[in-house]
Amino acid sequence: MSFYSRREAAVILQCSPTTISKYIRNGTLKNYGTPKKIKVSTEEVHSFYETVKYQSDKVTRTEVLRLQTRVNTLEAEMETLKMMIGVGNLKPPRTDEQLQSLHEEIMIMLTQVSWDVRTIMSISDTMISLKDREVLRLVQMKGTRSWTGLFDLSERMLHYIGSMALPKTTSDILISRLESGRNRLYGLLYVSLSEHIAMDKFWAKKIVSSRVVEQTTDEFLLNFLAKRAQQ
């Protein structure tokens, strides 16, 4: 079993260390350390984060079937489109172990409040290189909110870039890469989650209403999905 300190758990859950102590007192989290050196299970923190961070109502079966019908009508077109622009063909498919390891690495990065340029670029590349089947496989292993941490991490990084002492050109590149990767991942989730019956309303609304970077291939993909979803 691995653990987070009280401070690390607070950073992930975006609350104060005092609130972590409150969660321990009311039984929401368990302290595996001492009163002076609190240690909470990483698995418990991850579960609490994924359950509470984006809590939303489940869609009805009718809504899911309606959405599945819409997605099924564009899957063939999307596969052709992805082949034309080379989406998802950058790296060999990740194994289940690699996907779970990626999930753990993302959660660890959420314990931090700052990142270097190399780490930010690595997260961008990860979102850009993910394949639709990899997205779905992690959902099947960890649940429909399994990619929440990656979206949250990219959002925190976008805010952090503004505080970095970087040339404007460098900042613009980092922001563009992060937003491009995030928008592409929204599109992959839209298609991949059509096969998962427990889709949350959060994802459907987030994907369709997401702000995208103008004049990019990812904007074209996401707008293509959004327009077809409204038909």
What's the pLDDT tens digit per position in 107-132? 999 999 999 988 998 998 898 888 87
| Claim to verify: residue 111 and residue 168 sit in the same structural domain | yes
Question: What range does the domain containing 206 cover?
Answer: 61-229
| Claim to verify: residue 153 and residue 180 sit in the same structural domain | yes
Rounded Cα–Cα distance for residues 194 and 115 (Å) = 34
The vertex-112 CA angle with 189 and 180, nearest 5°, equals 35
| Claim to verify: residue 132 and residue 79 sit in the same structural domain | yes
Rounded Cα–Cα distance for residues 69 and 66 (Å) = 5
| Claim to verify: residue 85 and residue 186 sit in the same structural domain | yes
- The secondary structure of residue 31, as a DSSP letter, is B
pLDDT, tens digit (0-9, with 9 covering 90-100), for 45-98: 998 888 776 554 455 566 556 666 665 555 544 544 444 444 444 467 889 999
The chain-wide mean pLDDT, for the chain, equals 76
The most confident of 20-29, 42-51, 89-98, 174-183, by mean pLDDT: 20-29
| Claim to verify: residue 113 and residue 223 sit in the same structural domain | yes
Q: What percent of the chain has pLDDT over 70?
A: 65
Instruction: Tally the domains of the chain.
Output: 2
Is the pLDDT score of 201 beyond 80? no
| Claim to verify: residue 42 and residue 138 sit in the same structural domain | no
Segment (H or E) for 39: strand 39-41
Rounded Cα–Cα distance for residues 167 and 48 (Å) = 38
| Claim to verify: residue 20 and residue 76 sit in the same structural domain | no
| Claim to verify: residue 65 and residue 44 sit in the same structural domain | no
Least confident of 87-101, 124-138, 171-185: 87-101
